[in-house]
Amino acid sequence: MDLQLSGRVAVVTGASKGIGLAVTRTLLEEGVRVVATSRRSSPALEALARADLLHVPADLMDPDAPGMVVARAAEAFGGLDILVNNAGGPPPGVTLPRGSFLDATDAEWRAMFEFNLFSAVRAVRAALPLMLERGGGAIVNVSSGNARQPSPINVDYGAAKAGMNNLTKVLSEEFGPKGVRVNTVSPGPVRTAWWTDEGGVADMIAAQAGTDRDSVMDRVAPEMMNLTTGRLADPQEVADVVALLVSPRSANTTGAEFVVDSGFLKAV
């Protein structure tokens, strides 16, 4: 399927690994010029190097960083058509999952919201004028199943992502009539560094369950979370949904949430 994206300009946050890397790769393959941002690059991102890819190192916890990244996109490629707010998860110095709601301090709550919600707010604020100049655009906010499935071990993270879901709806209502579509993609558990890195969630669960990280990801975690498909999602499976949503093929889809969660959410 031709997604009709060739020549468009995108900003992808959290682009050095996981879902963001998969989104960056997919958009490049569709002919999009991509500004990829992350605190630092990675060998996998560097392997994608070409004229249509610009990596802008930035710490999105800095209030000025999202606007700077968007400005670099306009400077390098002449405008902006697509924004994928993918950066998220535990900010530096914060570890998830927690043992309880009581384990999260005020400082950790603030950091979680800065990274998972306010960085997206600032990126959207910077991107909208550029999109409106071009007659429209597409924004995808990457949320989480925890936005709708409360969890005491990820309470501040889930609250921030619930705010992102609400933000998506508000933006779609205000700017949809002006040609800017805004949608949410909500992954469940995905085989990203949060799970796979040494000391990550898989290792934490493995230590508690008396097993190894591969067994956790292949069997223990899917059973624990009652995943219908029996497995964690691959980042590419999320990226494919994002690519379709930013495409003109989805021209009449806005204010929607698309779940890629292995059947994690059970409620209607």
**Concatenated DSSP letters of 65-102:** HHHHHHHHHHHHHSS--EEEE---SSPTT--SS-S-GG
Question: How far are the Cα atoms of 143, 187, 265, 268 from residue 88, in angstroms, in the given order?
Answer: 8, 12, 20, 26
Return the exposure string of 151-169: e unless at least 16 CB atoms fall within 10 Å of the residue's CB, then b: eeebbbbbbbbbbbbebbb
Cα distance between residue 242 and residue 261, in whole Å: 14
The reported pLDDT for the residue numbered 210 is 93
Q: Which fold has domain 9-188+235-258?
A: Rossmann fold (3.40.50)
The reported pLDDT for the residue numbered 193 is 87
Which residues in the chain come in under a pLDDT of 70?
none
* From-to residues of CATH 3.40.50.720 in the chain: 9-188+235-258
Tokens of 132: 């409106």
Residues 6 or more apart whose CB falls under 8 angstroms from that of 88 comprise 14, 115, 116, 142, 144, 161
The reported pLDDT for the residue numbered 200 is 84
Q: Is residue 157 annotated as a catalytic residue, yes or no?
A: yes
The reported pLDDT for the residue numbered 204 is 87
Report the SS3 class of residue 141. Answer: strand
The reported pLDDT for the residue numbered 141 is 98
Asked if 257 contacts 141 with a C-beta cutoff of 8 angstroms, the reply is no
The reported pLDDT for the residue numbered 58 is 98
Residue with tokens 């950790």: 108
Radius of gyration of the chain (CA): 18
Reported pTM: 0.96
Q: Which of 113, 115, 157, 264 is catalytic?
A: 157
The reported pLDDT for the residue numbered 201 is 87
